[in-house]
Structure 1
Amino acid sequence: MFFQPKLLKTFAGYNQTLFIKDLLAGLTVGIVALPLAMAFAIASGLKPEAGIFTGIIAGGLISLLGGSRVQIGGPAGAFIVIVYGIVERYGVSNLLVATAMSGVFLILMGAFRLGTLVRFIPIAVIIGFTNGIAFLIGLSQIKDFFGLQIEKMPAHFFQAVQALYLAADTFNPTALAVACGSLSIIIFWRLFQKHLGFLHHIPGTVIAMIFATVFTSLLDLPIDTIGSRFGGIPSSLPSFEWIPVSWDTAQYMVTPALTLALLGAIESLLCARIADGLIHDRHDSNQELMAQGFANIVTPFFGGMPATGTIARTVTNVESGASTPIAGIVHALTLLAIVLFAAPLAKNIPLASLAAILMYVAWNMGEWKKFIDIKQFRLPYRITILSVFLLTVILDLTVAVQVGLLLAFITFIYRISSLSRCEIAEANIYPALNNLQGRIDAYRIYGAIFFGAVKLLEKIEENLPSQTLLLDLKNVIYVDSSGMDTISELAHLCKVRNIKLIICGLDHQPYEMAGRSGFLEKLPQDCLYPDLISGIKAATAS
């Protein structure tokens, strides 16, 4: 079927035992998602409810329509840097437009079965921009971690560093103490989580937020909270509102929307692959992309932000016993229940604690060990990963990915072309070639004849024999249009110089390419042989 959510396949054999497991897992993940959703929204320059509404609506839709059994969708840390930049440059209304447009792109990617293409993005590019985003998330949280008095953090790296430097003398010791205390609780809980009995399912981020909120309320600490900065979060259902579209600026949202779509696709499919390994199942990548697309189209109309699959919440879901998308739907309903019945309690959540949570998320999000082990890799890999990282930090993710893909492309072309080679068929291996030097030249070509390796045939053109040229293409696995043009030019040159061209071993893809290009029609019937020995016999007999 073209559109078949994974949920439909889970009803067969579904029973009360599985439902209870999914229910408990969904409740756990819903509690886990609360502080993360608010923290991601605040760090993105939005109100905390934007993250919660996204978790409710997008999280429910992704589980309802997705191609993975256990993936949890919602706001993600990877989007923080991009969303913050869009909000600062274009405003919240245009962020909603870009989010909806990214949803359309994701649906098209899924409809055209492009889900598998995301896997072709080199790991060096993924690690580079992931570490860059993690670094920027940590940088953006220094303000609230230290309680600095900065009216608005700039989106660009150098301006952000300057703003932090200028405000260094305004740091709040109380905020720093709350942040350090929260971070200590998170780390302690992670180290000893397995020894905490029935509490081990609850992550340290939730415990840290609860402790910080209680202490801030009881001691009336002089630090910024959700209530003091945002007035709390609404205790009502998100309402539907048409997105205000300014057609003068909507045209500039195409590039940000493509960036959101590409990053969302990468994040969700990477997360789905990790989930597959945990539950020994296989997700439908194209169905997952379409579900992500629908979620990102709908969510902006309820004041939400971009959504994708989230690794931390998905892993928590699996570890809590989830086996079907029902757990993801329960997670969304849990967030909804928290908003309806416990929203007033959120006003005392200190921003310093949320900053500590995001610092922890950023640290775990980055693959820092890859930087430590970078000397083990080849120079092109090192250049790619460091270039993408630095460009993500200093410029933006779009430029970083473009440059990274270009570097990876150049490296790939160089390596593949270096694997292609051309050898002269030696007379000691083929005795029939004895005493025929200068009249008959035989070459064996290996690898691929494509635009990066056409120089192999160009070298043959410079040393053409007087009578016959034999080309053994038995070991050629691929020929592109540029390679076929070069072979055609060589054939034409042989015809002009009255040199007989014999091609041997043309098979599979090269044979198909030769047929589609019309080369076989131009080649005389006595010029095509199955192998080099047959070609040599035909050349010496003529």
Structure 2
Amino acid sequence: MNSKLDFQPRLFATLKHYNKKTFMADLMSGLIVGIVALPLAIAFGIASGVTPEKGIITAIVAGFMISLLGGSKVQIGGPTGAFIVIIYGIIQQYGFEGLTIATLMAGAFLILFGVLHLGTIIKFIPYPIVVGFTSGIAVTIFTTQIKDLFGLSIDKVPSDFLEKWYCYLCNFDTLDFWCAAVGVLSVVIIAITPRFSKKIPGSLVAIVVMTVAALMLKQFAGVTTIETIGDRFSVSNAIPDAHMPNLTWDTIKSLVSPALTIAVLGAIESLLSATVADGVIGDHHDSNTELIAQGVANLASPIFGGIPATGAIARTMTNINNGGRTPVAGIIHAATLTLIFLFFMPLAKYIPMACLAGVLVIVSYGMCGWRSFLALMKNPKSDVSVLLITFFLTIIFDLTIAIEVGLIIACLLFMKRMSETTEVKVIMDEISEESDITTGNIEHLTIPQGVEVYEINGPYFFGAGNRFEEIMATFGDRPKVRIIRMRKVPFVDSTGIHNLTNLCEMSKSEGIQVVLSGVVPRVHAALEKAGFYNSVGEKNICSHINFALDRANEILKEQEVEANPA
């Protein structure tokens, strides 16, 4: 692993060749993305269990930091739907102060990931896990919006997934027609807007239309049952003061698990978003720089009252589609949100809650990835198992458990598959030694009586040692010499060395001498450093099968002399 800190924000590289044409493209894109981000930031903030302005503050502070310091030219950062479930759960258990501490810790973890060059490793998290918890989050978000979408009269909605749906079914007769109409029409407007305009976001159109409709219904038709943001929250456009929470060791210890979940989820989503963006614009982002930027953003956001943030795929794609090609567009997006927050935030109190629920229903549909989910169901059973376990753990329990269990299962499956790639075979009677395949010179080597030859093909680690015992158990007569060919073993780990040592000791106790053949330099160095050769003997380490067979004949003669002394 490279220990050198490689932190190179893309902003500074792009500014070297910046011009007026690029700035105008970034300006237009930044303005549009800022407008698109507004309803999403409000909706994500409320759904996460915090006030709407905290969602916007997060989009401003984190969005600015991610664009300023990030490793992608077009990444747009802010609050995302993926965090809703975990944020809500942390607030319920630890309060907002606990969320602030967990977010700060997650920021520190993300910076550590980047410093340790884990960016490329995180991108290799199995696809079924990503789809499983993303789909699970989407279902959970949809579930949390049913009450507001239909205006159900429920004092307190249960936190458990199954209990929540049972509660909805029992109270569906309390549905409010006007709230349901606002919610359903919001979904329809958001869904059909792209058919008429690619530039104007459907969520913004829905919010403007439904807010005006709700005000007119209240003013001229006396409809007062449509709940708005102002009915539930006190909306403010005051710039929050920087605040550092009271950090105690006990609190930090209790929040390690949720903080790691935020960090891992943020890393996965941001790098996934950056990778998708690379494919569209033909660029290549710096994973480790991006992680460090995400970490700084999650350190800054909670200090100003914000919530966790990461790269947002939808807003990043909006940026690309509207011409944004440098991090300047992301900075302008943050500036746009700042102006909206300062001058128009008080108007947010008139937005119907049912309309925001409609926005999140569309977000959850976009997140669910049902096509990918169904496609994975046709894959091997092991992948399907990981997918379904992660999915159901996410919706029934929580995201923290889902990610932890999913990663453990994936690691176990990976180890199983890797161990299966290592083949141990027995060569009987004769060896076809392809010494010079280009000239057709193939030498056939005869195996002497009393000698067994085993060949390992693949990495020698867990599982391979046990196969020797399984294979040897099938033979009736015990040999006098066992030759182990290791020419196709690229590396050996401590478990492999331990298994090989046990095999040699077991063979020695049975009067069988082990001879190694064709050990590659890397494996040779590992075995020598571990002290393995002390028990086998230097003479029994041969560079080629011919020398190993010669050594086997010498051992047979020595044993014959010992058995029949003159």
TM-score (norm 1): 0.93
**Which range moves more in the overlay, 330-339 or 365-374?**
365-374
Offset, 1:174: 0.6
> Letter of the aligned partner of 1:226 in structure 2?
I
Check the 8 A contact 1:56/1:333 in 2, yes or no: yes
CA distance change for structure 1 residues 47 and 501 in 2, over 3 Å: closer, same or farther?
A: same
Residue of structure 1 aligned with 2:518, choices 476, 496, 505: 505
1:228 paired with 2:231, answer: yes
Report Cα offsets for 1:16-37 as digits up to 9, x if no partner.
1111111111101000000000
**1:138 alignment counterpart:** 142
Residue of structure 2 aligned with 1:186, choices 143, 168, 190: 190
2:503 & 2:239 partners in 1: Cα distance?
72
Check the 8 A contact 1:88/1:155 in 2, yes or no: no
**1:489 alignment counterpart:** 502
**Which range moves more in the overlay, 112-121 or 307-316?**
112-121
**1:171 alignment counterpart:** 175
Check the 8 A contact 2:139/2:395 in 1, yes or no: yes
Unaligned runs of 5+ residues in structure 2 are: 433-443, 556-566
Check the 8 A contact 1:30/1:331 in 2, yes or no: yes
**1:10 alignment counterpart:** 14
Check the 8 A contact 2:393/2:401 in 1, yes or no: yes
Residue of structure 2 aligned with 1:81, choices 50, 69, 85: 85
Offset, 1:410: 2.4
> Letter of the aligned partner of 2:420 in structure 1?
S
**Which range moves more in the overlay, 499-508 or 452-461?**
452-461
Unaligned runs of 5+ residues in structure 1 are: none
Offset, 1:492: 3.0
1:21 paired with 2:21, answer: no
1:488 & 1:246 partners in 2: Cα distance?
48
Offset, 1:466: 3.8
The 3-state SS of whatever aligns with 1:502 is strand
The 3-state SS of whatever aligns with 1:535 is helix
2:479 & 2:232 partners in 1: Cα distance?
86
Residue of structure 2 aligned with 1:242, choices 238, 241, 244: 244
1:450 paired with 2:461, answer: yes
Report Cα offsets for 1:38-68 as digits up to 9, x if no partner.
0001111111001000001111011111111
The 3-state SS of whatever aligns with 1:479 is coil
> Letter of the aligned partner of 1:218 in structure 2?
M
Report Cα offsets for 1:413-468 as digits up to 9, x if no partner.
2222223222222324455435x33x111111212221232212323665584432
Offset, 1:497: 4.5
1:524 paired with 2:537, answer: yes
TM-score (norm 2): 0.89
Check the 8 A contact 1:243/1:300 in 2, yes or no: no
CA distance change for structure 1 residues 375 and 242 in 2, over 3 Å: closer, same or farther?
A: closer
CA RMSD in angstroms comes to 2.0
CA distance change for structure 1 residues 245 and 525 in 2, over 3 Å: closer, same or farther?
A: closer
**1:47 alignment counterpart:** 51
**Which range moves more in the overlay, 297-306 or 488-497?**
488-497
1:263 & 1:488 partners in 2: Cα distance?
41
2:314 & 2:157 partners in 1: Cα distance?
27
1:84 & 1:279 partners in 2: Cα distance?
35
CA distance change for structure 1 residues 244 and 213 in 2, over 3 Å: closer, same or farther?
A: farther
**2:200 alignment counterpart:** 202
The 3-state SS of whatever aligns with 1:373 is helix
**2:452 alignment counterpart:** 441
Question: Based on CA coordinates, which of the two structures has the bigger radius of gyration?
Answer: 2
1:373 & 1:326 partners in 2: Cα distance?
38
Check the 8 A contact 1:53/1:302 in 2, yes or no: yes
Report Cα offsets for 1:304-328 as digits up to 9, x if no partner.
1111111100010111111111111
Check the 8 A contact 1:98/1:257 in 2, yes or no: yes
Offset, 1:9: 0.9
The 3-state SS of whatever aligns with 1:12 is helix
CA distance change for structure 1 residues 240 and 525 in 2, over 3 Å: closer, same or farther?
A: closer
Check the 8 A contact 2:6/2:288 in 1, yes or no: no
Residue of structure 1 aligned with 2:318, choices 308, 316, 324: 316
Check the 8 A contact 1:457/1:487 in 2, yes or no: no
The 3-state SS of whatever aligns with 1:405 is helix
The 3-state SS of whatever aligns with 1:37 is helix
The 3-state SS of whatever aligns with 2:516 is strand
Residue of structure 2 aligned with 1:343, choices 345, 352, 365: 345
CA distance change for structure 1 residues 102 and 212 in 2, over 3 Å: closer, same or farther?
A: same
**Which range moves more in the overlay, 237-246 or 338-347?**
237-246
Residue correspondence of structure 1 range 151-162 to structure 2 within 5 A: 151-162=155-166
The 3-state SS of whatever aligns with 2:331 is helix
CA distance change for structure 1 residues 293 and 517 in 2, over 3 Å: closer, same or farther?
A: same
Offset, 1:521: 5.0
Residue correspondence of structure 1 range 470-481 to structure 2 within 5 A: 470-481=483-494
Residue of structure 1 aligned with 2:215, choices 217, 241, 251: 217
Check the 8 A contact 2:393/2:402 in 1, yes or no: yes
The 3-state SS of whatever aligns with 1:201 is coil
**2:441 alignment counterpart:** none
> Letter of the aligned partner of 1:229 in structure 2?
R
1:348 & 1:246 partners in 2: Cα distance?
40
Check the 8 A contact 2:57/2:305 in 1, yes or no: yes
Residue of structure 1 aligned with 2:154, choices 143, 150, 157: 150
CA distance change for structure 1 residues 468 and 302 in 2, over 3 Å: closer, same or farther?
A: same
Report Cα offsets for 1:69-102 as digits up to 9, x if no partner.
1101100100000111111122112111111111
1:382 & 1:143 partners in 2: Cα distance?
32
**2:122 alignment counterpart:** 118
**2:559 alignment counterpart:** none
The 3-state SS of whatever aligns with 2:455 is strand
The 3-state SS of whatever aligns with 2:491 is strand
CA distance change for structure 1 residues 402 and 536 in 2, over 3 Å: closer, same or farther?
A: same
The 3-state SS of whatever aligns with 1:454 is helix
CA distance change for structure 1 residues 304 and 520 in 2, over 3 Å: closer, same or farther?
A: same
Residue of structure 1 aligned with 2:390, choices 378, 388, 391: 388
The 3-state SS of whatever aligns with 1:376 is coil
The 3-state SS of whatever aligns with 1:326 is helix
1:516 & 1:537 partners in 2: Cα distance?
26
| Residue correspondences, number | 533
1:325 paired with 2:327, answer: yes
Offset, 1:486: 1.7
> Letter of the aligned partner of 1:517 in structure 2?
A
**1:533 alignment counterpart:** 546
Check the 8 A contact 2:128/2:376 in 1, yes or no: no
2:351 & 2:308 partners in 1: Cα distance?
24
